[in-house]
C-alpha cells in the first residue's frame, strides 16, 4: 500500500508552537500545580467548591465587558479594564517560565477544567452528585480509562454527554484489560455510515473473531508520528493486514499522576461519537495493564501548519484557503451540532488525509454541552413545510446536512432534501440558476448557544478575547479561532501576535484588526475575517446561527457544500511505500517480549 510520508511531527521546533499552559505548563518542562481561575458573575454564580490539593483559586473582580472597537483608541474605562486584565494575565502567565519556552513554540493553554466546565446543565448534573469534573478527575486517579462503570458519578456524566445517541458502546468493563473493538465493530455500520464500507473495520473484526480480544500485540508500531500532552501517536499496522492506523498510546499511570485522566476520557468519548468525513474515525479502543490505546485513522499528509511553511511566501493561495477552511467549517458545524465546542482550532490540528482532504484532530480541549439542532428552513427552493413522505432525522451519524453517502440515501435516514425532493427533474432549477450552492440546502441551526465555560484554554495567538478577559465563553470562540485560522492561512501569520505571550494576549483584547499589504487578498476574504474577528462575541458573525451564517458569506460563493468531499484538493500528499519506513520501531506484546525488546515497558511512550 502506498502512502505519503508525514513530513514533520510536532516535535520539530518549527512546528512546536503549542501546548504550554499558562496554568498547566505543557511540553518538556516541569509542571507546576494547576491554577484555576474563576470569577464572580451575576449571570453565572460560581458554586463554591473544594479544590483539589495543590490547586490555587483566584477570585477576580468582574472585568467590565467592553466592546473594544476594531478601530480607535481605548477609553479611560477601557484602560481601567486593561489594568484588571493585566492582573489577570499576570496571574495566569506567571506559572509559565518564558525562559523555558523555546522559540517558535506556539503553545496552547490548558487550564485544569473547573466545575464550570461543560455548560450549566452539566455543572448542575455533576453538582447534584456532589462531584465536580475536577474532583472526578482526582477520584478517578486509579481507575482504568476503559471503565465506564467504575464510578457511578463518572458514568452519569458519560450518559449525560452521550444522551441522544446510541449507547451501544456504553457497556462496562470490570477488567483492567478491556477491548471495545466488539462494540466498535458491531456498531460501526449502525453508528458510522460514512465509514461503513471501510475495510479496516472488517480487518479488526476478523482479528477479534479469531482471537477474541484485540490488543497491542496485534499491531506493529512502525513509526512515531508525534507526541501530544497525553500520549504519543504511532503509525501502526494491524499485523499482516496492510491496514494502517494512527494509534495514540497513553500511559495510564502517567495520566493519573498528572491528573489527565478526565482529559483523555473526554477525547475518547468525543472520538467515539464522531462520524464525519472531516473528522477522525476511532476504529477501536483497548486497554492493557499499562496503556490506553486509541486506534484511529492515519493521515499521511502531515498538518496544515507544516504544509503552509512549504508554500511560496509561506501562505496558501486564496483558492486553496477556501477549500481548507470550507472543510474545517463543515467539521466545526458538525461538532457544534453534537454539542461540542472545539476550542483548539489552528493549522497544527488540521491534518491532511491521503486524498488531500482534511481531518480535524485533537479533542482534549473540547467542551461538551447540551444542544438542540433546529431545522429552520427545509430548503430555500422549497418554502413548503416538510413533506409528509420526507422524514428528516438528526441522528448524530446523519446530522451533517450534506450527507450523501449511499447508506444515507434513503429519505427516512438522512438529511437530504435535495436528493429526495419530490419535484420532477423538469421542475428543478438548473444548477446555474442556483447561484451559490448554499441557498438550496436546508438551514439548520446547530449552535450550542448555552455552552458556558470559564476555563482558560486554547493557544495564545488563537485565544478569543472573552477567554482572555475571563468573561465566560461559549461556542462563539470557535468562530473567533476560525477567523484567526483563515487569516493565518491567507497571510502566513496570525493578526495579534506580540513579542511574547503577554503582549499577544493584550493585542487580542485591545488591538484593532489590521491586514498586511501583501499578499493581496480579496475584499470578501477580508470582510469575512472582519466579521469573525469581532471582539465582542455577541456581535461576531455566526454568534446566533453558527456555520449557516458563515457558509452564506460571499467568500464561499460557488462552494458546493454538499459535494466538497468530492472536490479536488489543492495538494495531494506524495505517496511513499509504507515498507520504506524504517522499522518497525518496536513490535508490541502485552505478554511476550518481542525479539530485541525486553518487554512492553521498553516502548517509550513519552509525553513531551
Ligand atoms: N491520525 C493521525 N494521523 C497522523 N498523524 C497524527 C494523527 N493523530 C495525531 N497525529 C500526530 O501525532 C502528534 C501528536 O498528536 P496528539 O493529538 O496526541 O497531540 P497534540 O495534537 O499535540 O495534542 P495534545 O497535546 O492536545 O494531545 C501530532 O503531531 C499529530 O500531527
Q: Inform me whether the pLDDT recorded for 459 exceeds 50.
A: yes
C-alpha distances (whole Å) from 177 to each of 72, 218, 253, 266, 310 are 60, 14, 14, 19, 43
Please tell me the predicted confidence (pLDDT) of residue 181. 38
Q: Is 14 within the bounds of a domain?
A: no
Write down the pLDDT at residue 229: 87
Closest CA to 302 of 565, 3, 8: 8
Q: Which span out of 185-194, 258-267, 379-388 was modeled with the highest average pLDDT?
A: 258-267
Q: How far is CA 64 from the centre of its chain?
A: 30
Span from the CA of 536 to the centroid of ligand 1 (angstroms): 32
User: Does residue 235 share a domain with residue 198?
Assistant: yes
Q: What percent of the chain has pLDDT over 70?
A: 50
Task: Output the pTM of the full model.
Answer: 0.67
CA torsion 53-54-60-63 (nearest 10°) is: -110
More confident residue, 253 or 40: 253
377 has a pLDDT exceeding 90 = no
Distance 301 CA to ligand 1 centre (A): 13
| Non-local CB neighbours of 339 within 8 Å, separated by 6+ positions | 368, 369, 370, 371, 448, 451
Ligand 1 center to 432 CA (angstroms) = 41
Neighbours of 8 (CB within 10 A): 18
In this predicted structure, the answer to whether residue 499 has a pLDDT above a threshold of 50 is: yes
Q: Is 429 buried (19+), middle (13-18) or exposed (0-12) by CB count in 10 A?
A: exposed
- 539: cell is 456581535
Set 140, 344, 362, 478: catalytic member: 344
Sign of CA dihedral 261, 329, 347, 484: negative
User: Contact, 437 vs 559, CB < 8 A?
Assistant: yes
Q: Are 490 and 353 in contact (CB under 8 A)?
A: no
Q: Per the domain annotation, does 310 fall within a domain?
A: yes
Grade residue 411 by pLDDT with cuts at 50, 70 and 90: very low
- Ligand 1 pocket test, pick from 6, 10, 459 with the greatest ligand atom count within 8 Å of Cβ, gives 10
Q: Which of 61, 60, 57 is nearest to 35 (CA)?
A: 57
Q: Is the CB of 234 under 6 A from ligand 1?
A: no
CA-wise closest residue to 547 among 471, 479, 477: 479
Ligand 1 atom with the shortest distance to the CA of 231:
18
**What is the model's pLDDT at position 336?**
95
Same domain for 227 and 361: no
Query: Do both 366 and 332 map to the same domain?
Result: yes
The mean pLDDT value for 48-60 works out to 32
Opening angle at CA 585, ends 579 and 587, nearest 5: 95
Of 109, 230, 233, the one to substitute when testing ligand 1's pocket (max ligand atoms within 8 A of C-beta) is 233
- Is residue 230 in some structural domain? yes
Q: Which of 109, 118, 64, 58 is nearest to 88 (CA)?
A: 58
Longest Cα–Cα distance of the chain, Å, equals 72
Domain boundary residue among 263, 298, 333? Answer: 298
How many A from CA of 428 to the centre of ligand 1?
45
Asked if residue 261 is part of any domain, the answer here is yes
386: in domain: no
470 lies in the same domain as 559: yes
Query: Per residue in 139-190, pLDDT tens?
Result: 222 233 333 332 222 222 222 222 222 222 222 222 233 444 333 434 444 4
Taking a C-beta distance cutoff of 8 angstroms, is the pair 340, 559 a contact?
no
Report, as an integer, the average pLDDT of 522-530.
98
| SS3 assignment for 178-213 | CECHHHHHHHHHHHCHHHCCCHHHHHHHHHHHHHCC
* Average pLDDT in the chain: 66
Q: pLDDT per residue over 323-354, tens digit each?
A: 999 999 999 999 999 999 999 999 999 999 99
Which atom of ligand 1 is found nearest the CA of 359?
1
| 586-587 vs 340-341, strand pairing mode | unpaired
Q: Which residues contact 28 (CB under 8 A, 6 or more apart)?
A: 608
The CATH number linked to 283 is 3.30.200.20
Cβ atoms within 10 Å of 394's Cβ, excluding its own: 15
Distance (Å) of CA 320 to CA 173, 277, 479, 572, 599: 46, 18, 20, 12, 46
Domain span including residue 559: 299-378+441-572
Cβ proximity of 458 and 464 under 8 Å: yes
pLDDT at position 418 over 60: no
Looking at per-residue confidence, does 80 or 277 come out higher?
277
Q: Whose CA is nearest to atom 19 of ligand 1?
A: 228
The beta-strand segments (E) located in 470-601 are 575-577, 586-587
Please tell me whether residues 461 and 564 are part of one structural domain: yes
Shared domain check, 459 and 337: yes
Q: For residues 347 and 358, is the Cβ–Cβ distance under 8 A? A: no
Whether residue 569 has pLDDT greater than 70: yes
Report for 82-91, 97-106, 396-405, 553-562: range of highest mean pLDDT: 553-562
In the reported structure, the alpha carbon of residue 226 is separated from the centroid of ligand 1 by a whole-number distance in angstroms of 6
Q: Are residues 560 and 475 in the same domain?
A: yes
Do 532 and 479 meet the contact criterion of CB atoms below 8 Å apart?
Answer: yes
Q: Per residue in 469-498, pLDDT tens?
A: 998 889 999 999 999 999 999 999 999 999
Angle ∠(69,39,458) on CA atoms, nearest 5: 65
Segment 349-366 shows an average pLDDT of 95
For residue 220, is pLDDT > 60?
yes
The answer to whether residues 241 and 293 belong to one domain is yes
Tell me, yes or no, whether 540 lies in a domain.
Answer: yes
The verdict on residue 60 lying in a domain is: no
Q: How many domains does the chain have?
A: 2
Residue 525 sits in the same domain as residue 445:
yes
Read off the pLDDT of each residue in 202-217 and give the average, rounded to a whole number: 91
Half-sphere exposure (Cβ direction) of 409: Cα atoms closer than 13 Å:
4
- Among the candidates 277, 298, 319, a domain finishes at 298
The more confidently predicted of residues 284 and 592 is 284
Residues 6+ apart with CB under 8 A from 376: 443, 444, 445
State the pLDDT at residue 452: 72
Q: Of the candidates 243, 268, 298, which is a domain's last residue?
A: 298
CA–CA distance, 447 with 488 (Å, rounded to integer): 25
Residues 495 and 529 in one domain: yes
**Confidence label for 585 from pLDDT (cuts 50, 70 and 90):** low
Element (H, E) at 243: strand 243-251
pLDDT at site 551? 96
Q: Whose CA is closest to 561, among 551, 571, 569?
A: 551
C-alpha grid cell for residue 585?
520501531
Q: How confident is the model at residue 88 (pLDDT cuts 50, 70, 90)?
A: low
| Residue-level pLDDT at 257 | 96
Strand partners, 294: 248, 285
354 lines ligand 1 (CB under 6 A): no
Q: Which three cell numbers stand for residue 485?
A: 485560522
In a domain, 175, yes or no: no
Residue predicted with more confidence, 557 or 370: 557
Number of neighbours of residue 74 by Cβ within 10 angstroms: 16
- Do residue 543 and residue 492 come from a single domain? yes
Is residue 344 flagged as an active site residue?
yes
**Better-scored residue on pLDDT, 36 or 432:** 432
Dihedral Cα 488, 491, 497, 498, nearest 10 deg: 170
Report the CATH number at residue 450. Answer: 1.10.510.10
Let me know whether 230 and 364 are in one domain.
Answer: no
Whether residue 587 contacts residue 597, with contact meaning beta carbons closer than 8 Å, is answered with yes
- Of 531, 518, 521, which is closest to residue 476 (Cα–Cα)? 531
Residue from 225, 245, 226, 241 nearest 286 by CA:
245
pLDDT digits (tens, 9 = 90+) for 273-311: 999 999 999 999 999 999 999 999 999 999 999 999 999
Amino acid at each position: 500500500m502506498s502512502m505519503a510520508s508525514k513530513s514533520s511531527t510536532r516535535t520539530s521546533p518549527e512546528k512546536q508552537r503549542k501546548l504550554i499552559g499558562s496554568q498547566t505548563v505543557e511540553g518538556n518542562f516541569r509542571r507546576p500545580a494547576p491554577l484555576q481561575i474563576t470569577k464572580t458573575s451575576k449571570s453565572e454564580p460560581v458554586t463554591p467548591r473544594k479544590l483539589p490539593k495543590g490547586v490555587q483559586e483566584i477570585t477576580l473582580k468582574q472585568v467590565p465587558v467592553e466592546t473594544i472597537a476594531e478601530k480607535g483608541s481605548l477609553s479611560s474605562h477601557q484602560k481601567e479594564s486593561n489594568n484588571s486584565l493585566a492582573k489577570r494575565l499576570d496571574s495566569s502567565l506567571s506559572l509559565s517560565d518564558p525562559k523555558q519556552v523555546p522559540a517558535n513554540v506556539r503553545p496552547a493553554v490548558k487550564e485544569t477544567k473547573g466545575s464550570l466546565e461543560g455548560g450549566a446543565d452539566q455543572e448542575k448534573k455533576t453538582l447534584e452528585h456532589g462531584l465536580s469534573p475536577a474532583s472526578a478527575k482526582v477520584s478517578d486517579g486509579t481507575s482504568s480509562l476503559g471503565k465506564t462503570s467504575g464510578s457511578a458519578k463518572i458514568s452519569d456524566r458519560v450518559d449525560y454527554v452521550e444522551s441522544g445517541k446510541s449507547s451501544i458502546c456504553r457497556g462496562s468493563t470490570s477488567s483492567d484489560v478491556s477491548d471495545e473493538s466488539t462494540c466498535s465493530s458491531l456498531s460501526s455500520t449502525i453508528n458510522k455510515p460514512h465509514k461503513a464500507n471501510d475495510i479496516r473495520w472488517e480487518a479488526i473484526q476478523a482479528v477479534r473473531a479469531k482471537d477474541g480480544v484485540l490488543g497491542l500485540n496485534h499491531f506493529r508500531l512502525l513509526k512515531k508520528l508525534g507526541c501530544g500532552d497525553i500520549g504519543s501517536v504511532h503509525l501502526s499496522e494491524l499485523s499482516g493486514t496492510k491496514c494502517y492506523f494512527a494509534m495514540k498510546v497513553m500511559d495510564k499511570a502517567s495520566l493519573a499522576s498528572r491528573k489527565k485522566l478526565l482529559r483523555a476520557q473526554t477525547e475518547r468519548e468525543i472520538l467515539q461519537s464522531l462520524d464525519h468525513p472531516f473528522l477522525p474515525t476511532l476504529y477501536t479502543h483497548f486497554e492493557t495493564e499499562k496503556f490506553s490505546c486509541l486506534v484511529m485513522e492515519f493521515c499521511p499528509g502531515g498538518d496544515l501548519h507544516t504544509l503552509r511553511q512549504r508554500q511560496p511566501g509561506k501562505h496558501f493561495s486564496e483558492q486553496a484557503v477556501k477549500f481548507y477552511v470550507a472543510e474545517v467549517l463543515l467539521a466545526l458545524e458538525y461538532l457544534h451540532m453534537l454539542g461540542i465546542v472545539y476550542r483548539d482550532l489552528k493549522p497544527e490540528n488540521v491534518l491532511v488525509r491521503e486524498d488531500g482532504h482534511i481531518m480535524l484532530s485533537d479533542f482534549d480541549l473540547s467542551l461538551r454541552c447540551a444542544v438542540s439542532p433546529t431545522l429552520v428552513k427545509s430548503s430555500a427552493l422549497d418554502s413548503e413545510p416538510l413533506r409528509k413522505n420526507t422524514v428528516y432525522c438528526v441522528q448524530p451519524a446523519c446530522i451533517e446536512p450534506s450527507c450523501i453517502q449511499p447508506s444515507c440515501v434513503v429519505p427516512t435516514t438522512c438529511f437530504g432534501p435535495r436528493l429526495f425532493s419530490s419535484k420532477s427533474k423538469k421542475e428543478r432549477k438548473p444548477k446555474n440558476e442556483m447561484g451559490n450552492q448554499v441557498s438550496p440546502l436546508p438551514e439548520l441551526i446547530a449552535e450550542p448557544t448555552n455552552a458556558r465555560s470559564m476555563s482558560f484554554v486554547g493557544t495564545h495567538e488563537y485565544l478569543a478575547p472573552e477567554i482572555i478577559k475571563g468573561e465566560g465563553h461559549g461556542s462563539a470562540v470557535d468562530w473567533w479561532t476560525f477567523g484567526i485560522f483563515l487569516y493565518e492561512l491567507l497571510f502566513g501569520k496570525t493578526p495579534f501576535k506580540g513579542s511574547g505571550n503577554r503582549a499577544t494576549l493584550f493585542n487580542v483584547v485591545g488591538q484593532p484588526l489590521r491586514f498586511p499589504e501583501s499578499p493581496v487578498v480579496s475584499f470578501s476574504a477580508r470582510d469575512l475575517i472582519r466579521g469573525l474577528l469581532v471582539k465582542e462575541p455577541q456581535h461576531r458573525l455566526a454568534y446566533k446561527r453558527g456555520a449557516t451564517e458563515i457558509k452564506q458569506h460571499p467568500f464561499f460563493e460557488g462552494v458546493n457544500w454538499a459535494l466538497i468531499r468530492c472536490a479536488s484538493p489543492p495538494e495531494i500528499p506524495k505517496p511513499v511505500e509504507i515498507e520504506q519506513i524504517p522499522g518497525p520501531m518496536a513490535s508490541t506484546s502485552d505478554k511476550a517480549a518481542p525479539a530485541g525488546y525486553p518487554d512492553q515497558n521498553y516502548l517509550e511512550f513519552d509525553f513531551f
